[in-house]
Amino acid sequence: MPEGDLQNPVVGPRVVADNQYPQLRAERTAALVVGHAHGEMYEEVSRGNVWTISTAAAGIAIATSVGIPATAANNPIVGIYNPPGSVNMHVTRTILVATTGTAVTGGFAWYLSANPTGITSSGVQARNNKTFVKGGHYGIAFDGSTPVTGQTVAPTLFRQFGGGFPGALAAGTNSTLEETEEDIVLGPNNYLGLYAVLGATGLNVVGSLTWAEVPTGG
Amino acid sequence: MDIQNPIVGPRSISDGSEPQLRAGRTAELIVQPAHGELYEETARGNIWTISTAAAGINATTVVAAGVSAARCIVGLYNPTSDTNLFVTRTVIVQVSGSAVTGGYVWGSVASPTAITSTGQLGVNNRTMTSGGHRAYAFNGSTIVTGITTTVLFRYIGGFIAGTIAAGQNATLEEVEDDLVVGPGCFLGVFVAVAGTNTTATGSLSWAEIPA
């Protein structure tokens, strides 16, 4: 590179034509001013490292061992288990929609199992966010259709997800809950699932979970 | 005294000065976006938007995910081998009628081989003129002919099944930036199951990026 470029940022904006070699831009508290080439998730997705799991459109009827945490085999609404290894699983988007029924006290919550022993489930295949083809991921994903088997301790409540005021949900009410905070990274040998906190009669939900797989280098 | 030697903490510096850059207390380089996240992409003319007509699309069987010859509310087919389509924003508004179980979803086809529709023209997000994109964009006005059966990829949102009352908020939106329609793939917005007397409007914005 010619002189006066990367090594000597200068405070304030300028107008620079394509193919020029500008001094980089700093701001008035000495931070480097940067611009995004694309949206935040483009690089991760275009490299084929992001997958999504979704429940069937008919939804998950919340009942004992389905959508409610338990020690014995139980189905999360959506969930993911990261087997021991060297991959982090970065949860980037989760959505839940109640379609019929009654809102329960406590709503919905993330439940986790840290270093669980004995999980034997193979889960179901998720779809890649670029190719839309099933499979190719390291995580063991759950879409409500199959249980997490072999765990010896019930998952514990990690964080509230959201919910409705307890009682019958009126027809036509927007019942969408979503989390896009990107602040959960599931390390090796950890389990995370989305559940209703309490059982409910006639409560039916659908949902999706999207995650990126990132090598830990360890 | 430059990028090679950042110093921890803020200072107050005038335009035209050449400061030592700023580091944080855990040794990271402190940065500040010059503009909004999608400014560069948009200002370069690489983002387009497709929208349904204001009257909306009737959610009959032709807009349910999982059927062939589907009419999506909005959608994209990538016929190229050298371009990625990066979905930046989707908005769905149900304007009248009944909510259906399952709500609204992304439906995908991994490698459709027989799509013959060329779709409709999107509007560029900078020049506000129609066309100039490589994607085949769909706004519900025509069927995506030749498409094979779509699969339910991800939920966007929904309502308790039944009639939506007058005045209720019926807006669903997704701004997650985590969907790329790779070469040869199709992605569209559908209702999860067929609805009766359900009308939806929608818009979808996307960037085109060399693969």
- The DSSP secondary structure of A73-137, one letter per residue, reads SBB-SEEEEE-SSSEEEEEEEEEEEEEESEE-TT-EEEEEEES-S------B--EETTT--B---
| Domain assignment present for B60 | yes
Q: Which of A125-129, B58-62, B126-130 has the highest mean pLDDT?
A: A125-129
How would residue B113 be classed by pLDDT, with cut points 50, 70 and 90? confident
Which position has the higher pLDDT, A48 or B71? A48
Q: Are residues A10 and A70 in the same domain?
A: no
Residue of B nearest to A134 (CA): B110
| Domain assignment present for B37 | no
Classify residue A50 by burial, with Cβ atoms within 10 Å: 0-12, 13-18, 19+. Answer: buried
* pLDDT for the residue numbered B66: 77
Which position has the higher pLDDT, B193 or A177? A177
| Domain assignment present for B192 | yes
Tell me whether residues A130 and B17 touch, CB distance under 8 A: no
Q: Are residues B20 and B51 in the same domain?
A: no
How would residue B69 be classed by pLDDT, with cut points 50, 70 and 90? low
Tell me whether residues B182 and A42 touch, CB distance under 8 A: no
Classify residue A70 by burial, with Cβ atoms within 10 Å: 0-12, 13-18, 19+. Answer: middle
| Domain assignment present for B194 | yes
* pLDDT for the residue numbered B137: 96
Tell me whether residues B29 and A32 touch, CB distance under 8 A: yes
How would residue B164 be classed by pLDDT, with cut points 50, 70 and 90? confident
Q: Which residues pair with A60 in a beta bridge?
A: A205
Q: Are residues A78 and A175 in the same domain?
A: yes
Q: Which amino acid is at A64?
A: T
Please check the confidence at residue A8 and state whether its pLDDT lies above 60: yes
Q: Which of A145-149, B171-175, B190-194 has the highest mean pLDDT?
A: A145-149
| Domain assignment present for B81 | yes
Q: Are residues B183 and B117 in the same domain?
A: yes
* Interface with chain B: mutation pick from A32, A97, A179, A181, highest number of B CBs within 10 Å: A97
The CB density around residue A41, as the number of other CB atoms within 10 Å, is 21
Q: Distance between CA atoms of A126 and A75, rounded to whole angstroms? A: 16
Q: Distance between CA atoms of B71 and B197, rounded to whole angstroms? A: 16
DSSP reduced 3-state for A150: coil
Q: Are residues B88 and B139 in the same domain?
A: yes
Q: Are residues A9 and A97 in the same domain?
A: no
What's the CA angle centered on A110, arms B106 and A217, to 5 degrees?
Answer: 80
- CA B49 to chain A, closest CA, distance in angstroms equals 16
Q: How many domains does chain A have?
A: 2
| Domain assignment present for B73 | yes
Q: Which of B86-95, B96-105, B153-162 has the highest mean pLDDT?
A: B153-162
The CB density around residue B200, as the number of other CB atoms within 10 Å, is 26
* pLDDT for the residue numbered A202: 83
Please check the confidence at residue A214 and state whether its pLDDT lies above 70: yes
Q: Are residues A83 and A12 in the same domain?
A: no
Q: Distance between CA atoms of B186 and B204, rounded to whole angstroms? A: 14
Tell me whether residues B16 and A54 touch, CB distance under 8 A: no
ipTM: 0.82
Tell me whether residues A176 and B101 touch, CB distance under 8 A: no
What's the whole-number mean pLDDT along residues A57-78? 90
What's the whole-number mean pLDDT along residues B70-96? 89
Residue of B nearest to A179 (CA): B176
Q: The tokens 């506000």 sit on which residue?
A: B128
Tell me whether residues B17 and A207 touch, CB distance under 8 A: no
* pLDDT for the residue numbered A23: 86
* pLDDT for the residue numbered A104: 80
Q: Are residues A82 and A55 in the same domain?
A: yes
Residue B115 contacts residue B47 (beta carbons within 8 Å): no
**DSSP one-letter code for B30:** P
Q: Are residues A29 and A63 in the same domain?
A: no
DSSP reduced 3-state for B43: helix
| Domain assignment present for B179 | yes
Length of chain B: 211
* pLDDT for the residue numbered B47: 94
- The residue segments making up the domain with residue B25 are 1-32
Q: What percent of chain A has pLDDT over 70?
A: 97
Q: Are residues A31 and A55 in the same domain?
A: no
Q: Retrieve residue A27's tokens.
A: 């701001």
* Interface with chain B: mutation pick from A6, A132, A214, highest number of B CBs within 10 Å: A132
Q: The tokens 């025509």 sit on which residue?
A: B142
Q: How many domains does chain B have?
A: 2
* pLDDT for the residue numbered A1: 42
Reported pTM: 0.89
What's the whole-number mean pLDDT along residues A96-116? 90
Tell me whether residues A95 and B157 touch, CB distance under 8 A: yes
- The residue segments making up the domain with residue A12 are 1-35
Q: Retrieve residue B84's tokens.
A: 């990625």
**DSSP one-letter code for B65:** T
Q: Distance between CA atoms of A77 and A203, rounded to whole angstroms? A: 12
Nearest alpha carbon to residue B87 among A121, A38, A6 = A38
What's the whole-number mean pLDDT along residues A102-116? 89
- CA B128 to chain A, closest CA, distance in angstroms equals 20
Residue A197 contacts residue A108 (beta carbons within 8 Å): yes
Q: Are residues A9 and A46 in the same domain?
A: no
Residue A193 contacts residue A76 (beta carbons within 8 Å): yes
- CA A24 to chain B, closest CA, distance in angstroms equals 10
Outline where chain A has alpha helix (H): 42-46
